[in-house]
Protein backbone atom coordinates (compact mmCIF):
# COMPACT_ATOMS: atom_id res chain seq x y z
CA UNK A 1 0.00 0.00 0.00
CA UNK A 2 1.50 3.32 -1.08
CA UNK A 3 1.24 6.24 1.29
CA UNK A 4 2.17 9.20 -0.88
CA UNK A 5 2.67 12.67 0.55
CA UNK A 6 -0.39 14.21 -1.07
CA UNK A 7 -1.80 17.59 -0.20
CA UNK A 8 -2.49 19.60 -3.38
CA UNK A 9 -1.34 23.21 -3.35
CA UNK A 10 -1.29 26.01 -5.93
CA UNK A 11 1.32 28.73 -6.38
CA UNK A 12 1.20 31.60 -8.87
CA UNK A 13 -0.83 31.46 -12.09
CA UNK A 14 -2.06 27.95 -12.80
CA UNK A 15 -4.94 26.14 -14.41
CA UNK A 16 -7.62 24.73 -12.11
CA UNK A 17 -8.03 21.74 -14.46
CA UNK A 18 -5.05 19.84 -15.83
CA UNK A 19 -4.69 19.85 -19.62
CA UNK A 20 -7.36 22.50 -20.09
CA UNK A 21 -7.80 26.29 -19.93
CA UNK A 22 -4.10 27.02 -19.51
CA UNK A 23 -3.12 30.53 -18.41
CA UNK A 24 -2.54 32.65 -21.54
CA UNK A 25 0.82 32.18 -23.28
CA UNK A 26 1.90 29.26 -21.11
CA UNK A 27 2.94 25.69 -21.74
CA UNK A 28 1.94 22.94 -19.34
CA UNK A 29 4.42 20.34 -18.10
CA UNK A 30 3.47 17.37 -15.93
CA UNK A 31 5.89 15.88 -13.40
CA UNK A 32 4.43 12.72 -11.95
CA UNK A 33 4.99 9.43 -10.18
CA UNK A 34 4.18 5.94 -11.47
CA UNK A 35 3.93 7.14 -15.06
CA UNK A 36 0.55 8.82 -15.24
CA UNK A 37 -1.05 6.98 -12.32
CA UNK A 38 0.48 8.55 -9.21
CA UNK A 39 0.80 12.00 -7.63
CA UNK A 40 1.65 14.75 -10.11
CA UNK A 41 2.25 18.47 -10.34
CA UNK A 42 1.61 20.67 -13.39
CA UNK A 43 3.94 23.56 -14.11
CA UNK A 44 2.98 26.43 -16.41
CA UNK A 45 6.00 27.72 -18.31
CA UNK A 46 6.41 30.79 -20.47
CA UNK A 47 8.44 28.76 -23.01
CA UNK A 48 8.01 25.19 -24.29
CA UNK A 49 10.02 22.91 -21.96
CA UNK A 50 11.61 21.32 -25.04
CA UNK A 51 12.71 24.56 -26.70
CA UNK A 52 16.40 23.92 -26.13
CA UNK A 53 19.09 25.32 -28.40
CA UNK A 54 21.60 22.57 -27.55
CA UNK A 55 21.70 19.21 -25.82
CA UNK A 56 24.73 17.37 -24.44
CA UNK A 57 25.25 14.21 -22.41
CA UNK A 58 23.88 10.66 -22.38
CA UNK A 59 20.26 11.49 -21.45
CA UNK A 60 19.09 11.69 -25.03
CA UNK A 61 16.06 10.52 -26.97
CA UNK A 62 16.60 8.00 -29.74
CA UNK A 63 14.92 7.36 -33.08
CA UNK A 64 15.45 4.18 -35.09
CA UNK A 65 14.43 3.52 -38.68
CA UNK A 66 13.62 -0.17 -38.92
CA UNK A 67 12.90 0.14 -42.65
CA UNK A 68 16.69 0.21 -43.12
CA UNK A 69 17.10 -3.23 -41.53
CA UNK A 70 17.75 -6.20 -43.82
CA UNK A 71 16.19 -9.51 -42.75
CA UNK A 72 17.57 -12.52 -44.59
CA UNK A 73 17.18 -15.54 -42.35
CA UNK A 74 14.17 -17.82 -41.97
CA UNK A 75 13.59 -18.04 -38.22
CA UNK A 76 12.12 -15.66 -35.65
CA UNK A 77 15.25 -16.27 -33.61
CA UNK A 78 17.10 -14.42 -36.38
CA UNK A 79 15.25 -11.27 -35.34
CA UNK A 80 17.03 -7.95 -35.02
CA UNK A 81 16.93 -7.36 -31.24
CA UNK A 82 16.79 -3.67 -30.43
CA UNK A 83 16.09 -3.33 -26.67
CA UNK A 84 16.54 -5.64 -23.69
CA UNK A 85 16.24 -5.61 -19.92
CA UNK A 86 15.41 -8.16 -17.23
CA UNK A 87 11.68 -8.00 -18.05
CA UNK A 88 11.54 -7.77 -21.82
CA UNK A 89 13.21 -8.31 -25.17
CA UNK A 90 12.07 -6.28 -28.18
CA UNK A 91 13.04 -7.09 -31.74
CA UNK A 92 11.98 -6.94 -35.37
CA UNK A 93 11.84 -9.69 -37.97
CA UNK A 94 10.55 -10.13 -41.51
CA UNK A 95 9.28 -13.57 -42.50
CA UNK A 96 9.89 -13.79 -46.27
CA UNK A 97 8.85 -17.39 -46.84
CA UNK A 98 7.12 -20.33 -45.25
CA UNK A 99 8.96 -21.45 -42.12
CA UNK A 100 10.39 -24.96 -42.54
CA UNK A 101 10.58 -25.58 -38.79
CA UNK A 102 8.74 -24.80 -35.57
CA UNK A 103 9.93 -22.52 -32.80
CA UNK A 104 9.17 -22.45 -29.09
CA UNK A 105 10.01 -19.67 -26.62
CA UNK A 106 10.80 -21.05 -23.16
CA UNK A 107 12.00 -17.65 -21.95
CA UNK A 108 8.63 -15.92 -21.89
CA UNK A 109 5.31 -15.17 -23.50
CA UNK A 110 5.69 -13.95 -27.10
CA UNK A 111 3.63 -11.08 -28.47
CA UNK A 112 3.79 -10.52 -32.22
CA UNK A 113 2.52 -7.33 -33.87
CA UNK A 114 2.07 -7.62 -37.63
CA UNK A 115 3.30 -4.36 -39.17
CA UNK A 116 2.85 -5.43 -42.80
CA UNK A 117 1.73 -8.49 -44.69
CA UNK A 118 -0.68 -11.35 -44.21
CA UNK A 119 -0.50 -15.10 -43.94
CA UNK A 120 -1.21 -18.02 -41.66
CA UNK A 121 -0.11 -19.09 -38.20
CA UNK A 122 0.12 -22.74 -37.17
CA UNK A 123 0.65 -23.46 -33.48
CA UNK A 124 -0.24 -25.95 -30.73
CA UNK A 125 -3.74 -24.47 -30.57
CA UNK A 126 -4.49 -24.78 -34.28
CA UNK A 127 -4.57 -22.59 -37.38
CA UNK A 128 -5.20 -18.85 -37.61
CA UNK A 129 -5.16 -16.44 -40.54
CA UNK A 130 -3.26 -13.23 -39.73
CA UNK A 131 -3.00 -9.78 -41.31
CA UNK A 132 -1.45 -6.36 -40.78
CA UNK A 133 -2.41 -4.77 -37.47
CA UNK A 134 -2.82 -8.07 -35.63
CA UNK A 135 -1.51 -8.66 -32.14
CA UNK A 136 -0.83 -12.39 -31.71
CA UNK A 137 -0.21 -13.52 -28.14
CA UNK A 138 1.55 -16.88 -27.77
CA UNK A 139 1.92 -18.22 -24.21
CA UNK A 140 5.35 -19.33 -23.06
CA UNK A 141 6.12 -22.77 -24.47
CA UNK A 142 3.84 -22.55 -27.52
CA UNK A 143 5.20 -24.21 -30.68
CA UNK A 144 4.46 -22.15 -33.81
CA UNK A 145 5.39 -21.27 -37.36
CA UNK A 146 4.29 -18.71 -39.96
CA UNK A 147 3.36 -19.01 -43.62
CA UNK A 148 3.33 -15.60 -45.37
CA UNK A 149 1.03 -14.90 -48.27
CA UNK A 150 3.01 -15.27 -51.51
CA UNK A 151 4.94 -12.09 -52.39
CA UNK A 152 3.70 -10.46 -49.17
CA UNK A 153 6.29 -10.88 -46.38
CA UNK A 154 5.16 -10.67 -42.77
CA UNK A 155 6.94 -7.77 -41.04
CA UNK A 156 6.78 -8.25 -37.27
CA UNK A 157 7.45 -6.34 -34.08
CA UNK A 158 8.33 -9.05 -31.53
CA UNK A 159 7.86 -8.51 -27.76
CA UNK A 160 8.92 -11.02 -25.14
CA UNK A 161 7.70 -10.93 -21.54
CA UNK A 162 10.84 -12.41 -20.00
CA UNK A 163 9.93 -12.31 -16.31
CA UNK A 164 6.20 -12.85 -16.36
CA UNK A 165 3.21 -13.18 -18.64
CA UNK A 166 1.06 -10.88 -20.75
CA UNK A 167 -2.26 -10.10 -19.12
CA UNK A 168 -5.22 -7.77 -19.63
CA UNK A 169 -5.21 -4.33 -17.98
CA UNK A 170 -7.54 -3.59 -15.09
CA UNK A 171 -10.39 -1.47 -16.49
CA UNK A 172 -11.93 -0.39 -13.18
CA UNK A 173 -15.09 1.71 -13.35
CA UNK A 174 -15.10 1.46 -17.16
CA UNK A 175 -16.23 -2.15 -16.88
CA UNK A 176 -14.88 -5.25 -18.61
CA UNK A 177 -16.21 -4.36 -22.08
CA UNK A 178 -14.32 -1.07 -22.50
CA UNK A 179 -11.75 -0.61 -25.28
CA UNK A 180 -12.52 -4.10 -26.51
CA UNK A 181 -14.74 -6.89 -25.28
CA UNK A 182 -12.79 -10.06 -24.54
CA UNK A 183 -15.22 -11.82 -26.87
CA UNK A 184 -13.30 -10.02 -29.65
CA UNK A 185 -10.24 -12.16 -28.96
CA UNK A 186 -9.84 -14.80 -31.68
CA UNK A 187 -8.27 -18.19 -31.00
CA UNK A 188 -6.73 -20.65 -33.47
CA UNK A 189 -8.96 -23.42 -34.78
CA UNK A 190 -8.33 -27.12 -35.28
CA UNK A 191 -9.69 -26.88 -38.82
CA UNK A 192 -8.98 -28.61 -42.11
CA UNK A 193 -5.83 -26.55 -42.74
CA UNK A 194 -4.44 -27.58 -39.36
CA UNK A 195 -5.26 -31.25 -39.83
CA UNK A 196 -3.87 -31.33 -43.36
CA UNK A 197 -0.42 -30.20 -42.20
CA UNK A 198 -0.15 -33.13 -39.77
CA UNK A 199 2.10 -35.82 -41.24
CA UNK A 200 4.72 -38.41 -40.33
CA UNK A 201 7.58 -36.38 -41.81
CA UNK A 202 10.61 -35.06 -39.96
CA UNK A 203 10.22 -31.70 -38.21
CA UNK A 204 12.60 -29.54 -36.24
CA UNK A 205 11.61 -27.47 -33.22
CA UNK A 206 14.09 -24.71 -32.33
CA UNK A 207 13.64 -23.83 -28.66
CA UNK A 208 14.91 -20.57 -27.13
CA UNK A 209 15.71 -21.00 -23.43
CA UNK A 210 17.98 -18.73 -21.38
CA UNK A 211 18.63 -16.87 -24.63
CA UNK A 212 20.26 -19.99 -26.09
CA UNK A 213 18.93 -22.21 -28.88
CA UNK A 214 18.36 -25.96 -28.81
CA UNK A 215 16.93 -28.11 -31.60
CA UNK A 216 14.56 -31.03 -31.08
CA UNK A 217 13.94 -33.36 -34.04
CA UNK A 218 10.72 -35.35 -34.37
CA UNK A 219 9.91 -38.02 -36.97
CA UNK A 220 6.45 -36.41 -37.24
CA UNK A 221 4.90 -32.95 -37.08
CA UNK A 222 4.40 -32.28 -33.34
CA UNK A 223 1.50 -29.95 -34.15
CA UNK A 224 -0.68 -33.05 -34.03
CA UNK A 225 -3.28 -32.08 -31.42
CA UNK A 226 -6.76 -33.40 -32.08
CA UNK A 227 -8.32 -31.05 -29.54
CA UNK A 228 -7.73 -28.98 -26.42
CA UNK A 229 -9.58 -27.39 -23.52
CA UNK A 230 -8.42 -24.69 -21.10
CA UNK A 231 -7.86 -21.00 -20.61
CA UNK A 232 -4.11 -20.63 -21.23
CA UNK A 233 -4.66 -19.51 -24.80
CA UNK A 234 -3.05 -18.16 -27.93
CA UNK A 235 -5.18 -15.16 -28.94
CA UNK A 236 -5.38 -12.54 -31.65
CA UNK A 237 -6.81 -9.01 -31.67
CA UNK A 238 -6.43 -6.37 -34.39
CA UNK A 239 -6.08 -2.66 -33.73
CA UNK A 240 -9.18 -2.17 -35.90
CA UNK A 241 -11.14 -3.98 -33.16
CA UNK A 242 -10.21 -1.38 -30.51
CA UNK A 243 -12.63 1.36 -29.45
CA UNK A 244 -10.43 4.01 -27.83
CA UNK A 245 -11.35 5.94 -24.72
CA UNK A 246 -12.09 9.57 -25.52
CA UNK A 247 -13.00 12.82 -23.83
CA UNK A 248 -14.03 15.85 -25.84
CA UNK A 249 -13.05 18.15 -22.97
CA UNK A 250 -9.86 16.59 -21.58
CA UNK A 251 -6.72 15.11 -23.14
CA UNK A 252 -6.41 11.63 -21.65
CA UNK A 253 -2.96 10.29 -20.72
CA UNK A 254 -1.51 7.57 -22.98
CA UNK A 255 -1.80 4.92 -20.27
CA UNK A 256 -5.59 4.75 -20.79
CA UNK A 257 -4.88 3.09 -24.15
CA UNK A 258 -3.15 0.11 -22.51
CA UNK A 259 -3.84 -3.14 -24.39
CA UNK A 260 -1.65 -5.62 -22.48
CA UNK A 261 0.36 -5.53 -19.27
CA UNK A 262 3.33 -7.64 -18.24
CA UNK A 263 5.81 -7.69 -15.37
CA UNK A 264 7.62 -4.35 -15.50
CA UNK A 265 6.08 -2.97 -18.70
CA UNK A 266 2.85 -2.22 -20.53
CA UNK A 267 1.80 -2.29 -24.19
CA UNK A 268 -0.61 0.42 -25.37
CA UNK A 269 -2.16 1.07 -28.78
CA UNK A 270 -2.89 4.48 -30.29
CA UNK A 271 -5.64 4.28 -32.91
CA UNK A 272 -7.58 6.94 -34.83
CA UNK A 273 -9.96 9.02 -32.71
CA UNK A 274 -11.61 12.45 -32.71
CA UNK A 275 -9.51 15.23 -31.26
CA UNK A 276 -10.76 17.14 -28.24
CA UNK A 277 -13.40 19.67 -29.33
CA UNK A 278 -13.57 21.84 -26.21
CA UNK A 279 -11.85 25.18 -27.04
CA UNK A 280 -9.79 25.12 -23.86
CA UNK A 281 -8.66 21.50 -23.98
CA UNK A 282 -5.19 20.46 -25.12
CA UNK A 283 -5.22 18.83 -28.57
CA UNK A 284 -1.80 17.18 -28.38
CA UNK A 285 0.04 15.26 -25.64
CA UNK A 286 1.13 17.49 -22.80
CA UNK A 287 4.80 18.07 -22.05
CA UNK A 288 5.90 15.72 -19.33
CA UNK A 289 8.87 14.46 -17.38
CA UNK A 290 8.20 10.74 -17.08
CA UNK A 291 10.81 9.92 -14.47
CA UNK A 292 9.70 6.34 -13.81
CA UNK A 293 9.42 4.75 -17.28
CA UNK A 294 11.33 4.39 -20.53
CA UNK A 295 8.88 5.11 -23.36
CA UNK A 296 9.14 3.36 -26.73
CA UNK A 297 6.77 3.98 -29.64
CA UNK A 298 6.60 1.91 -32.83
CA UNK A 299 4.92 3.84 -35.63
CA UNK A 300 2.66 1.60 -37.72
CA UNK A 301 0.33 3.69 -39.87
CA UNK A 302 -0.85 7.21 -40.59
CA UNK A 303 0.20 10.75 -39.75
CA UNK A 304 1.67 10.95 -36.25
CA UNK A 305 0.04 14.03 -34.85
CA UNK A 306 2.54 14.84 -32.08
CA UNK A 307 5.68 14.10 -34.12
CA UNK A 308 7.51 15.59 -37.13
CA UNK A 309 9.50 13.73 -39.80
CA UNK A 310 8.40 10.32 -38.52
CA UNK A 311 7.26 7.62 -40.94
CA UNK A 312 5.81 4.11 -40.51
CA UNK A 313 8.38 1.57 -39.40
CA UNK A 314 10.28 4.01 -37.20
CA UNK A 315 10.66 3.75 -33.42
CA UNK A 316 11.38 6.43 -30.84
CA UNK A 317 12.77 5.88 -27.36
CA UNK A 318 12.40 8.56 -24.70
CA UNK A 319 14.36 7.42 -21.63
CA UNK A 320 13.13 8.06 -18.12
CA UNK A 321 14.12 11.51 -16.91
CA UNK A 322 13.92 13.07 -20.40
CA UNK A 323 11.37 15.88 -20.65
CA UNK A 324 9.44 15.62 -23.89
CA UNK A 325 6.21 16.47 -25.66
CA UNK A 326 4.94 17.48 -29.09
CA UNK A 327 7.34 18.73 -31.73
CA UNK A 328 7.09 22.46 -32.60
CA UNK A 329 5.17 21.93 -35.88
CA UNK A 330 2.67 19.63 -34.16
CA UNK A 331 2.18 22.17 -31.39
CA UNK A 332 1.53 24.92 -33.93
CA UNK A 333 -0.96 22.76 -35.84
CA UNK A 334 -2.85 22.05 -32.62
CA UNK A 335 -2.95 25.74 -31.73
CA UNK A 336 -4.66 26.47 -35.07
CA UNK A 337 -7.25 23.71 -34.44
CA UNK A 338 -6.34 22.59 -37.95
CA UNK A 339 -7.26 18.94 -37.41
CA UNK A 340 -10.44 17.35 -36.11
CA UNK A 341 -9.19 13.78 -35.64
CA UNK A 342 -6.06 11.68 -35.51
CA UNK A 343 -5.26 9.05 -38.13
CA UNK A 344 -2.25 7.45 -36.47
CA UNK A 345 -1.75 3.86 -35.40
CA UNK A 346 1.18 3.22 -33.08
CA UNK A 347 2.29 0.73 -30.44
CA UNK A 348 3.65 2.22 -27.20
CA UNK A 349 5.70 0.13 -24.78
CA UNK A 350 6.57 1.68 -21.41
CA UNK A 351 9.14 -0.06 -19.20
CA UNK A 352 9.74 0.49 -15.49
CA UNK A 353 13.30 -0.84 -15.91
CA UNK A 354 15.61 1.06 -18.31
CA UNK A 355 16.35 -0.74 -21.54
CA UNK A 356 19.78 -1.50 -22.92
CA UNK A 357 19.99 -0.41 -26.56
CA UNK A 358 21.40 -3.25 -28.67
CA UNK A 359 23.75 -3.02 -31.68
CA UNK A 360 21.05 -3.69 -34.30
CA UNK A 361 19.22 -0.58 -33.07
CA UNK A 362 22.30 1.64 -33.06
CA UNK A 363 22.94 0.55 -36.65
CA UNK A 364 19.73 2.29 -37.82
CA UNK A 365 19.63 5.20 -35.36
CA UNK A 366 18.92 8.77 -36.47
CA UNK A 367 21.48 10.46 -34.27
CA UNK A 368 20.09 13.99 -34.71
CA UNK A 369 16.65 13.15 -33.33
CA UNK A 370 17.24 15.28 -30.23
CA UNK A 371 17.49 18.33 -32.51
CA UNK A 372 13.93 17.85 -33.77
CA UNK A 373 12.65 19.91 -30.83
CA UNK A 374 15.06 22.82 -31.35
CA UNK A 375 13.46 26.14 -32.18
CA UNK A 376 16.65 27.84 -33.38
Least confident of 81-90, 166-175, 324-333: 324-333
For residue 116, name the pLDDT band (cuts at 50, 70, 90): very high
Mark out the alpha helices in the chain (DSSP H runs): 192-196, 328-335, 359-362
Number of alpha carbons in the 13 Å side-chain half-sphere of residue 227: 1
Q: What is the pLDDT of residue 181?
A: 94
pLDDT of residue 376: 58
Length reported for the chain? 376
Q: Indicate if the pLDDT at residue 1 is higher than 70.
A: no
Q: Is the pLDDT of residue 227 over 90?
A: yes
pLDDT higher than threshold 80 for residue 226: yes
- Phi and psi of 104, rounded to 5°? -145, 130
pLDDT over 70 (residue 188) = yes
User: Is pLDDT above 90 for 4?
Assistant: no
What are the pLDDT digits (tens) for 280-329? 998 888 898 778 999 999 999 998 766 778 999 999 999 999 999 888 87
The segment with the largest mean pLDDT, out of 24-38, 133-147, 302-316, is: 133-147
Q: What is the pLDDT of residue 306?
A: 64
Share of the chain above pLDDT 90, in %: 80
State pLDDT tens for residues 234-265: 999 999 999 999 999 999 988 899 999 999 99
168 DSSP assignment: P
* Average pLDDT of the segment spanning 113-133: 98
pLDDT reported for residue 351: 97
| pTM for this entry | 0.94
In whole angstroms, give the CA distance from residue 244 to residue 258. 10
Q: Give the other-Cβ count within 10 Å of 153's Cβ.
A: 17
* Confidence band, pLDDT 50/70/90 cuts, at residue 23: very high
Q: Quick one: DSSP state of residue 20?
A: B
**Sign of the C-alpha dihedral, residues 42, 47, 50, 53?**
negative
Q: For residue 250, how many other CB atoms are within 10 A of its CB? A: 16
Assess contact for 289 and 318: CB atoms under 8 A.
no
Torsions phi, psi for 314 (to 5 deg):
-90, 160
Q: How far is CA 289 from the centre of its chain?
A: 20
What is the set of domains in the chain, with CATH numbers?
27-63+243-373 (2.60.120.10), 71-239 (2.60.120.10)
Question: What does the pLDDT average to over 163-186?
Answer: 94
- Cα 371 to Cα 61, 288, 290, 309: the distances in Å are 10, 18, 20, 12
Please check whether residue 29 is in contact with residue 45, taking contact to mean a CB–CB distance below 8 angstroms: yes
- Residue of 41, 58, 61 whose CA lies nearest to 50: 61
Amino acid sequence: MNKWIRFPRTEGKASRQAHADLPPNTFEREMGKEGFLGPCTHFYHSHPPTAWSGFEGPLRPHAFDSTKMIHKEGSPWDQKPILRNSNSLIGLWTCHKQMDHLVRNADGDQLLFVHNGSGELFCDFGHLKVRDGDYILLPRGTMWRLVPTEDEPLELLMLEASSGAFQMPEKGILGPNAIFDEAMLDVPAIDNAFQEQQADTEWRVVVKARQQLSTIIYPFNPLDATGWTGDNLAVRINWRDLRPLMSHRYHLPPSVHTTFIASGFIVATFVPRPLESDPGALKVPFFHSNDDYDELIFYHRGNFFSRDNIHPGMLTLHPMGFTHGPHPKALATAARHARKETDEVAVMIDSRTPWDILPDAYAVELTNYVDSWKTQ
